[in-house]
């Protein structure tokens, strides 16, 4: 099986969909000739031409609005927003238009747009290149929101997103582009070739949107996470020698409640970890859902770990990042509670 990092896996997903469906177009800032600032669209313009892989003006609102118009006229646009931190000029088009077009027109119109955007920190990006805005979109009705944590899922989910008839926000944790990351910035970087999920088929396959993945089965505690934090939480549990059941949410909207609830009902303990700020973060929705469904099986209060409720500070990246110490302390609390 071929080895791919997340960049190559995403590139392969777009290559395959461009090849299979003439309606697929890619657009975004620097995505064409240059191949994207993270190289995710590298080579696609050369292969499919300037009319299917389009460079755009620096106008996120324009990119998303134009994608809606293209989709209404039969295309299947895959728009890249260069950093999730730069998506807000397009927020009105996403919230008021893209997400609601099907509903307001009773399905007379729909816009199958995929918006890809790199998110998360850990690359010294400061407050404008590090944000994790998933909760701002999870709260909007009518757009699916996914975030893969490995190359295999990234490719399968992106193909599923592009083929989906509803809009999908596809968040790419940029710290994971080149390898998994356990939360310790002082360790040497690990490539995806060392990880089972770095094996990615060349051809077409999908990972269904709306399905979480049980990454590891265990009996003592359920860890629910996604994106970069999945790897951090996994390492923290391993360091404590816990028999943890680890669940990768993958699909934030729609959420695979059954998989989460089944696990917590079994273990009786639960920790939720995401990189986004904690207050009103997506973890709050997870806590509420699990509490509603598993109250009588819970043996401890659900623990929730996230970034601090401040902008992402350049100088304090690793004090801000919810690293192994914060996750480990929370895991201890959830295990000790009686």
Among residues 161, 320, 331, 334, which is the contact residue for other proteins, using CB under 8 A? 320
In order of 1, 12, 45, 150, 206, the CA distances from 18 in angstroms are: 22, 10, 11, 22, 15
Among residues 76, 129, 144, 269, which is the contact residue for other proteins, using CB under 8 A? 129
Nearest approach, Cβ of residue 33 and other proteins (Å): 6
From 51, 129, 139, 274, active-site residue: 129
CA distance 207 to 230: 18
CA distance 171 to 260: 21
- CB of 4 closer than 8 Å to CB of 84: no
Give the SS3 label for residue 15. helix
Binding mask 74-113 for other proteins (x = CB under 8 A): -----------xx-xx------------------------
Binding mask 269-288 for other proteins (x = CB under 8 A): ---------xx---------
Among residues 105, 107, 128, 193, which is the contact residue for other proteins, using CB under 8 A? 128
Nearest approach, Cβ of residue 17 and other proteins (Å): 15
In the annotation, is 139 catalytic?
no
Which stretch in 25-33, 134-142, 197-205, 252-260 sits in contact with other proteins by CB under 8 A?
Answer: 25-33
Among residues 125, 133, 148, 179, which is the contact residue for other proteins, using CB under 8 A? 125
Q: Does 155 bind other proteins (CB under 8 A)?
A: no
Binding mask 38-77 for other proteins (x = CB under 8 A): ------------xx--xxxxxxxxx---------------
Neighbours of 82 (CB within 10 A): 20
- CB of 198 closer than 8 Å to CB of 151: yes
Give the nearer residue to other proteins in terms of CB position, either 153 or 275. Answer: 275
CA distance 268 to 3: 37
Q: Does 34 bind other proteins (CB under 8 A)?
A: yes
Contacts of 198 (CB under 8 A, 6+ apart): 3, 4, 5, 150, 151, 152, 191, 192
CA distance 114 to 336: 43
Query: Are β-strands 144-146 and 251-253 bridged in parallel, bridged antiparallel, or unpaired?
Result: antiparallel
| Number of residues in contact with other proteins under rule CB under 8 A | 42
Among residues 238, 266, 314, 332, which is the contact residue for other proteins, using CB under 8 A? 314
Give the nearer residue to other proteins in terms of CB position, either 17 or 263. Answer: 17
Q: Does 189 bind other proteins (CB under 8 A)?
A: no
Give the nearer residue to other proteins in terms of CB position, either 33 or 109. Answer: 33
Neighbours of 244 (CB within 10 A): 26
CA distance 254 to 141: 10
Q: Does 197 bind other proteins (CB under 8 A)?
A: no
Question: For residue 144, what is the enclosing H or E element?
Answer: strand 144-146
Q: What are phi and psi of 85, to 5 degrees?
A: -60, -20
Neighbours of 225 (CB within 10 A): 27
Which positions are annotated as active-site residues?
129
> Which spans of this chain sit near other proteins (rule: CB under 8 A)?
22, 29-30, 33-34, 37, 50-51, 54-62, 85-86, 88-89, 124-129, 278-279, 308-311, 313-316, 319-320, 325-326, 329
């Amino acid at each position: 099986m071929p080895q791919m990092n997340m960049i190559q896996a995403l590139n392969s997903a777009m290559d395959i969909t461009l090849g299979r469906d003439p309606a697929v177009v890619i657009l975004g800032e620097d995505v064409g000739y240059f191949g994207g600032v993270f190289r995710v669209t590298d080579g696609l313009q050369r292969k499919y031409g300037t009319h299917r892989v389009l460079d755009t003006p620096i106008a996120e609102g324009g990119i998303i609005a134009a994608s809606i118009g293209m989709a209404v006229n039969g295309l299947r646009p895959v728009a890249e927003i260069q950093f999730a931190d730069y998506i807000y000029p397009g927020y009105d088009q996403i919230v008021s238009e893209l997400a609601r077009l099907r509903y307001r027109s009773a399905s007379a119109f729909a816009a199958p747009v995929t918006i890809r955007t790199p998110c998360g920190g850990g690359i010294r990006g400061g407050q404008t290149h590090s944000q994790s805005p998933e909760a701002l979109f999870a709260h909007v009705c009518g757009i699916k929101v996914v975030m893969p944590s490995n190359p295999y899922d990234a490719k399968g989910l992106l193909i599923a997103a592009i083929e989906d008839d509803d809009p999908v926000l596809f968040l790419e944790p940029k710290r994971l582009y080149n390898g998994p990351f356990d939360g310790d910035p002082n360790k040497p970087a690990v490539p995806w070739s060392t990880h089972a999920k770095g094996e990615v088929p060349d051809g077409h396959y999908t990972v269904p949107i709306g399905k979480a993945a049980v990454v590891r089965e265990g009996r003592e505690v359920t860890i629910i996470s996604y994106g970069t934090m999945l790897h951090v939480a996994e390492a923290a549990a391993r360091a404590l020698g816990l028999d943890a059941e680890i669940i990768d949410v993958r699909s934030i909207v729609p959420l695979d409640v059954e998989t989460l609830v089944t696990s917590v009902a079994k273990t009786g303990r639960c920790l939720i970890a995401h990189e986004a700020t904690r207050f009103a973060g997506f973890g709050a929705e997870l806590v509420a859902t699990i509490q509603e469904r598993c109250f009588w099986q819970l043996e401890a209060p659900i623990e929730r770990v996230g970034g601090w409720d401040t902008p992402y500070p350049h100088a304090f990246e690793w004090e801000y990042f919810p690293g192994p110490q914060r996750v480990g302390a929370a895991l201890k609390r959830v295990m000790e509670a009686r």
